[in-house]
Structure 1
């Protein structure tokens, strides 16, 4: 009761123009709202923009809130519809595949499902979500639904299906609540959810990622991270290949190409990664609940190691099933430096 009274007081003060009261109201929800926007949009930058637009809209319309639902639900409604509006505009997203980042790469074995706008989400920003329990209708734990495979699967859905699945299966809202948030009928929500679940389940089953799971910092994972780091820094091809499953998948957005199979991976590591004259330093981190590596390549003229790429790996058992390589421009988002010196 006391909490409700305090919330009502803050709302009244915020409606009267008290910015500090509004900030106190929304700050407890702002991070989970950003993750929600990231799930729907697949881009950290777009999610940050959507969050800011959500908060601006909430500030302007707080007088119309009326407390007919919880403040959290009302904010999720605004955020979800803000994301859908951004997807309809679709002006900031690459509409076609870019060229391969290295011309010496072999011919791809297929087209990747990973969209060109997909970005990894730093695990350090997920720590605050661990205690955020989903509602009674959820099929996924809050942190379970952050894996790169799950985010990729969401991007395969039409926007409305994407929003319905996140509201129902990740956040656990009931069908009637989701329908109200989307200004839709319960029948349309049920229909959209059925189609969305089929697409997501099929993708996860076929992608080699399996059901996404958030398993931070296990001893087995630590050993694999250490072995992968050592193999890259020593340019040990056999040790690196030995960490991969036979049908490993490699992709590198925004180029929508895929390489599948350990033999193709061996050719890439031989002709590109371990090309004569190249050497690396590797700094482990985490993204989307998965082991991630900042790779730095040595500048032969200065001895400085410059950011080369960000690798996110999916592990099943004790082997790597998927490697997704992102542009080095994303490295600073993980608190990693752009360059390393030989003594670092």
Structure 2
């Protein structure tokens, strides 16, 4: 940890009414709090709102800070604010067969994930973070009641002790352990199995598949796309309930994207998956405009799943809203 986080004088100033000191100290934890809230909620924009609410609550409750750890105190506020949001919006799903069951699901840009890790994080911790930010995990934990979801994340993702978790949630160690067992059992029984190889960095084969996907999509090449898709390909489009299973089901999609106009795709990354940001130039227009983000999942040597999100988060991905007809896209290293 940096000197800022451990300097008692700075913490004392921040919690005694020095607004500038408070803002500087809280800013250090803003990104990791955002990732925590995103895991809880599965929604980037909701997480942003909850983090802002967390900092407001913390500032207003600064007199109640007991001096036992500023980071843990912020996490307690953020977790409780997330729980309030889940309960208010009643966001729990009865099944998690696909991302179509989670209409509020949004992607998280890798460029921001790379800013979220605490500076003293161990390499193994980063592997866990990668596993537990992927879309499959986020969808699976939407099966859990709010309290169980919080406990699973605190214990199995953040590696908090049962005692720390109980203190944060104002419950007992026995209650935490019981809820954790139920949460793990639910995921074991109801959540789809995850591919173990997806915990690592993308392979050269996967990077090549992304490049082929971009090339074929830009040329509206149906046969080129079909070549790289598994026969049991699945495509979903949160927040829409649409779900396409298998290559024969994609015929209306192929016909639709040819009719839309011209495409320009830029490689990016979301939730530790390779992805492509799509720009569309409609007939009669001279500008490519932000349209969608496709997040790809691979199995063996083909594309197994594509999750399509709308253009809402282009800014968060560091992507422009438009590209001129003659502009060459800036290719982000996937």
Q: Which of the five TM-score ranges fits, normalised by the shorter chain?
A: 0.7 to 0.9
Aligned to 1:247: 232
Give the whole-Å Cα distance in 1 for the aligned partners of 2:197 and 2:237: 20
Aligned to 1:56: 56
How is 1:159-174 mapped onto 2 (pairs within 5 angstroms)? 159-174=146-161
Structure 1 residue 66: Cα displacement: 1.8
Structure 1 residue 73: Cα displacement: 1.5
Aligned to 2:221: 236
Give the whole-Å Cα distance in 1 for the aligned partners of 2:197 and 2:108: 15
Q: 1:298 to 1:203 in 2, by over 3 A?
A: farther
Give the whole-Å Cα distance in 2 for the aligned partners of 1:94 and 1:12: 39
Specify every segment of 5 or more residues in structure 1 that has no aligned partner in the other structure, as ranges: 96-109
Whether contact under 8 Å (1:134, 1:170) holds in the other structure is no
Aligned to 1:260: 245
Whether contact under 8 Å (2:281, 2:288) holds in the other structure is yes
Whether contact under 8 Å (2:166, 2:176) holds in the other structure is yes
Aligned to 1:336: 319
Structure 1 residue 164: Cα displacement: 0.8
Give the whole-Å Cα distance in 1 for the aligned partners of 2:149 and 2:303: 28
Give the whole-Å Cα distance in 1 for the aligned partners of 2:198 and 2:316: 23
Structure 1 residue 3: Cα displacement: 4.7
Whether contact under 8 Å (2:99, 2:139) holds in the other structure is no
Aligned to 2:34: 34
Aligned to 2:107: 120
Structure 1 residue 240: Cα displacement: 0.8
Deviation per CA, 1:145-167, whole angstroms, max 9, x where unpaired?
11111111122221111111100
How is 1:47-126 mapped onto 2 (pairs within 5 angstroms)? 47-68=47-68, 70-90=69-89, 113-126=100-113
SS at match of 2:115: helix
TM-score (norm 2): 0.86
Whether contact under 8 Å (1:140, 1:169) holds in the other structure is no
Aligned to 1:129: 116
Give the whole-Å Cα distance in 1 for the aligned partners of 2:297 and 2:35: 20
Aligned to 2:210: 225
Structure 1 residue 128: Cα displacement: 2.0
Whether contact under 8 Å (2:276, 2:295) holds in the other structure is yes
Specify every segment of 5 or more residues in structure 2 that has no aligned partner in the other structure, as ranges: 328-334
Q: 1:31 to 1:4 in 2, by over 3 A?
A: closer
Regions of 4+ moved over 6 Å: 137-140
Give the whole-Å Cα distance in 2 for the aligned partners of 1:234 and 1:2: 50
Whether contact under 8 Å (1:50, 1:79) holds in the other structure is yes
Deviation per CA, 1:266-305, whole angstroms, max 9, x where unpaired?
x134322234x63311111111111111112222112322
Deviation per CA, 1:184-219, whole angstroms, max 9, x where unpaired?
22222222212222333455544xx42484544543
Whether contact under 8 Å (1:150, 1:200) holds in the other structure is no
| Aligned-pair Cα RMSD in Å | 2.9
TM-score (norm 1): 0.84
Aligned to 2:175: 188
Give the whole-Å Cα distance in 1 for the aligned partners of 2:121 and 2:181: 20
